[in-house]
A and B are shown apart, each in its own frame.
Chain A
Amino acid sequence: MAEETRATTAPPESGGAPAEGHSQRPGPRGPRPGGGPGGPREGGRKYFRRKKVCKFCVEKIESINYKDVRLLAQFVAESGKIVPRRLTGVCTPHQRRLSSAIKQARNIALLPFAGRIN
């Protein structure tokens, strides 16, 4: 499950964000050549990015429990890291609960601290 979320969400983020930062740095600090704020960037986008939604809000999952390993594993990367909000689209209150649940699950050996379950 973690592989899926990574495969769909990670590439556009990792491809887009650093490149933008680099292209803006050497340019003049004055008025932006593109005109309106964010205008050219929106136009230059070649693919349609789906709006991410919080899984817990949409499916109305209220309890984020440390025992529910199958749910939590969807938000843990292969390396064992908690996948950040900007990649999964989980809203802030739910991400807070989610991260504490993952940490509890790690403590009782339901989820790994690092690496895959082998």
Chain B
Amino acid sequence: MNRTYELMFIVRPDMVEEDLDKLISTLETAVSSTGGTVKSVERMGKRRLAYTVRRFHDGMYVLLTVEGSGGLIHELERRLRVTEPVLKFLTVRIDEEQKRLEKIKKIREARKKTSAAPAAPAEGGETAAVTA
């Protein structure tokens, strides 16, 4: 059962760049060893936190997009919880949302085509009935 997840986590602002690289690479190896794939890694840089977390006002945000099963997420979250410099993390499942967006996009494009070419009478009649 392959699903797509977004894993966002915050590390402390005074963390050294190499340590962060190491942390990310260990997470990546954990993903590949559990049978998942890392789709993208995005460093969003240092940002001001909306509230203080462990007496920190800023944090380095990292966004990880991962494809895999629920067990993989369980393992990743366990690792993040154990890792000391990680202040906070959030996992969101995004594949269903992506599917929904694609569907809407397709519908919109189809509608654009029908309005651009009114030659097809059957389809035009259908859309008219729907809108009415």
Interface of B toward A, CB cutoff 8 Å: 8, 10, 48-51, 53, 59, 63, 87-90, 92, 97, 101, 104
Contact = CB atoms under 8 A, between A and B. Distances in A.
A6 interface: no
Contacts of B50: 106, 109-113, 117
Given A109-B50, A111-B50, 18 more contacts: A63-B97, A63-B101, A66-B90, A67-B63, A104-B90, A104-B92, A106-B50, A108-B8, A108-B88, A108-B89, A108-B90, A109-B53, A110-B50, A112-B50, A112-B51, A113-B50, A113-B51, A117-B48
B97 A109 contact: no
Interface of A: 62-63, 66-67, 104, 106-113, 115, 117
Contacts of A62: 101, 104
7 contacts: A66-B92, A67-B8, A107-B90, A108-B10, A108-B90, A111-B50, A117-B48
Nearest to A113: B51
A109 B92 CA distance: 15
B59 A109 contact: yes
A109 B104 contact: no
A69 to B, nearest CB: 9
B51 A109 contact: yes
A109 B101 CA distance: 26
Contacts of A112: 50-51
A63 B51 CA distance: 26
A67 B63 CA distance: 10
Contacts of A106: 50
Nearest to A107: B90
A112 B53 CA distance: 11
A106 B88 CA distance: 11
Chain A CB within 10 A, most for which of B51, B89, B97, B104: B51
